[in-house]
Structure 1
Amino acid sequence: MTEPLLDVRGVSKYFGGVHALEDVSMDLHAGEVVALAGDNGAGKSTLIKAISGVHKVDRGDILLEGKPVTYESPQQARDHGIETIYQDLALADNLSIGANIFLGREPKRKAFGFLPVLDRGLMADAAKETMRRLDFHVDRLSAPVSAFSGGQRQAVAIGRAIYWNAKILIMDEPTAALGVPEQRKVIALIKSLKEQGKGVIFISHNLGDIFAVADRIVVLRRGIKAGERKPDETTGDEIVRLMVGG
Structure 2
Amino acid sequence: MTTTTPVLSARGLVKTYGKVVGLDGVDLDLFPGEVLAIIGDNGAGKSTLIKCLTGAVEPDAGEIRLDGAPVHFRRPQDARKAGIETVYQTLAVAPALDIAANLYLGRERHRPGPLGSVLRMIDKKGMRRDAEKALTDLGIGTLQNMSQAVETLSGGQRQAVAVARAAAFGSKVIVLDEPTAALGVRESQQVLRMIDQVRSRGLPVILISHNMPHVFEVADRIHIQRLGRGAGVITPRSHTMPEAVAIMTGATTLTETPGQT
TM-score of the pair, normalised by structure 2: 0.90
Describe the superposition over 1:139-172 as per-residue Cα deviations: whole angstroms up to 9, x where unpaired: 2221011222222212211111222243211100
The alpha-carbon distance between structure 1 residues 114 and 70, as it changes in their structure 2 partners (threshold 3 A), is closer
Alpha carbons 2:39, 2:210 under 8 Å: kept: yes
**Aligned-pair Cα RMSD in Å:** 1.5
Find the aligned partners of 2:115 and 2:11 in 1 and give their Cα distance.
Answer: 51
Q: 1:90 aligns with which of 89, 92, 102?
A: 92
**Residue 217 of structure 2 corresponds to residue 215 of structure 1:** no
Query: Any gaps of 5 or more consecutive residues in structure 1?
Result: none
Q: 1:18 aligns with which of 17, 20, 23?
A: 20
Find the aligned partners of 1:148 and 1:113 in 2 and give their Cα distance.
Answer: 33
Q: Secondary structure at the match of 1:104?
A: coil
Partner amino acid for 1:28? L
Partner amino acid for 2:208? I
**Residue 121 of structure 2 corresponds to residue 117 of structure 1:** yes
Residue of structure 2 in register with 1:164 after alignment: 169
Q: Secondary structure at the match of 1:160?
A: helix
Residue of structure 1 in register with 2:254 after alignment: none
Q: Which has the higher strand share?
A: 1
Find the aligned partners of 2:140 and 2:238 in 1 and give their Cα distance.
Answer: 32
Describe the superposition over 1:37-77 as per-residue Cα deviations: whole angstroms up to 9, x where unpaired: 11111000000000000111111111000001001110010
Per the TM alignment, residue 111 of structure 1 is displaced from its structure 2 partner at its CA by 3.9
Per the TM alignment, residue 116 of structure 1 is displaced from its structure 2 partner at its CA by 2.7
Q: Secondary structure at the match of 1:115?
A: coil
Q: Secondary structure at the match of 2:97?
A: coil
Residue of structure 2 in register with 1:135 after alignment: 139
Alpha carbons 1:126, 1:163 under 8 Å: kept: no
Identity among equivalent positions (%) equals: 46
User: How many residues are paired up?
Assistant: 246
Q: Secondary structure at the match of 2:121?
A: strand
The alpha-carbon distance between structure 1 residues 134 and 16, as it changes in their structure 2 partners (threshold 3 A), is same
Find the aligned partners of 1:211 and 1:20 in 2 and give their Cα distance.
Answer: 26
Partner amino acid for 1:136? I
Greater Cα shift, 20-29 or 111-120: 111-120
Describe the superposition over 1:192-212 as per-residue Cα deviations: whole angstroms up to 9, x where unpaired: 010011111101110000000
TM-score of the pair, normalised by structure 1: 0.96
Runs (4 or more) in structure 1 with deviation over 6 Å come to: none
Find the aligned partners of 2:54 and 2:244 in 1 and give their Cα distance.
Answer: 26
Per the TM alignment, residue 114 of structure 1 is displaced from its structure 2 partner at its CA by 4.9
Describe the superposition over 1:98-155 as per-residue Cα deviations: whole angstroms up to 9, x where unpaired: 1012212222234499533221111111211111211112122210112222222122
